Amino acid sequence: MGGLKLFSTAGGVVEVMPHLAAAEADVQGLVEAHMETLLGVRFLASEYGTGPLHGGRIDSLGLDENGSPVIVEYKRGTDAGVINQGLFYLAWLMDHRAEFEHLVRNRLGVTAASQVLWSGPRLICVAGDFTRYDVHAVREHRRSIDLVRYRLFGSNLLGLETVASVSGGTQVSGRARRQSAALAAADSQSGAMTELAVAVDEVLLGLGDGVNRVERRQYRAYQRLRNFACLCPPQRSKLLVYLKADPKGVELVPGFTRDVTGLGHHGTGDLEVQLRTERDLERAQDLFRLSYAAA
């Protein structure tokens, strides 16, 4: 995995050699059983048939943290056709929205089905490896595609590495744009908070390659493979950012950071960061990087 070496320190230092799964189905079964933990995607269906006319079978269907439909395709090793195969299924999905929403309604409920974000469908390809041509190809498409390399270590360790992550550039819906403009206009009396929100946006997007921004009505999500930060619309005197960093591993500071585990809020993440000034933003950058690294 990109030069990564893993060593066991039990009774000395011994390298744990990486290996591929015995079969593609083994990778699929492992990911589907833990999809939300591994990919940030709620599992919906396995081997989903696309009907006799289309004649396909989607490996996995899911819904991500922001409500975007997700297709996951698996390959045991390297397969030049995995991206085109996934895009073939993605085109079918966009033509069968009502069928997908019916599936979401049956598995996750009416609320989830009503909030499906059709402006941001995603394709995640999980494979043993990808070629440089694969990485180039995803950058030429106008879809959101993640290439994820897997490796098994020993008998009970799994490694996932994001090789490429590209946003289709269509994840900001027209409604979200209008709402963002309205929020900015309504907040004209708090120009400082609006300027601070712009600075936060620049910092989060600049954390590394492959950061995608997804607009929802109540928050703006920043994701690699999964969300690592959610920025809520500016309030009169502060901004709220929710991070995926573990609150138990952070020294909480009253008025700056708060553990919101189990508390309802917009966006995802259990660590709330309150920003009022540029100095707060500087203080928060280590937390941003911590959450980014965990995504």
Among the listed residues 238, 203, 240, the one whose alpha carbon sits nearest the alpha carbon of residue 219: 240
pTM of whole model > 0.85? no
The pLDDT, as a whole number, for residue 1 is: 63
Burial of 52: CB neighbours in 10 Å, binned 0-12, 13-18, 19+: exposed
- Do 238 and 132 share a structural domain? no
Rounded CA-CA distance 111/109 in Å is: 6
Please check whether residue 270 lies inside any domain of the structure: yes
Q: To the nearest whole percent, how much of the chain has pLDDT over 70?
A: 92
How confident is the model over 80-129, as pLDDT tens digits? Answer: 889 999 999 999 999 999 999 999 999 999 999 999 999 989 999 999 99
* Mean pLDDT of the region 211-235: 93
- Do 267 and 231 share a structural domain? yes
Please check whether residue 29 lies inside any domain of the structure: yes
* Mean pLDDT of the region 265-274: 95
The pLDDT, as a whole number, for residue 295 is: 80
Matching residue, tokens 């928060």: 284
Other beta carbons within 10 Å of 210: 16
- Do 232 and 141 share a structural domain? no
* Mean pLDDT of the region 275-288: 96
The pLDDT, as a whole number, for residue 53 is: 80
How confident is the model over 42-91, as pLDDT tens digits? Answer: 999 999 999 888 889 999 999 999 999 999 999 999 998 899 999 999 99
**What's the domain range around 38?**
6-166
The pLDDT, as a whole number, for residue 190 is: 63
User: Pick the residue with more confidence: 187 or 221?
Assistant: 221
- Do 184 and 156 share a structural domain? no
Please check whether residue 1 lies inside any domain of the structure: no
How confident is the model over 169-203, as pLDDT tens digits? Answer: 544 444 444 444 444 444 444 688 999 999 999 99
CATH of residue 137: 3.40.1350.10
The pLDDT, as a whole number, for residue 140 is: 86
Please check whether residue 195 lies inside any domain of the structure: yes
Largest CA-CA distance found in the chain, in angstroms, rounded = 64
Please check whether residue 83 lies inside any domain of the structure: yes
- Do 250 and 202 share a structural domain? yes
Number of structural domains (the chain) is: 2
Please check whether residue 111 lies inside any domain of the structure: yes
The pLDDT, as a whole number, for residue 141 is: 83
Please check whether residue 244 lies inside any domain of the structure: yes
The pLDDT, as a whole number, for residue 294 is: 84
Please check whether residue 180 lies inside any domain of the structure: yes
The pLDDT, as a whole number, for residue 209 is: 80
- Do 205 and 161 share a structural domain? no
The pLDDT, as a whole number, for residue 172 is: 42
Question: 58 vs 47, 54, 134, 219, 289, CA distance in Å?
Answer: 5, 11, 20, 30, 35
- Do 157 and 27 share a structural domain? yes
- Do 152 and 206 share a structural domain? no
- Do 196 and 154 share a structural domain? no
- Do 144 and 205 share a structural domain? no
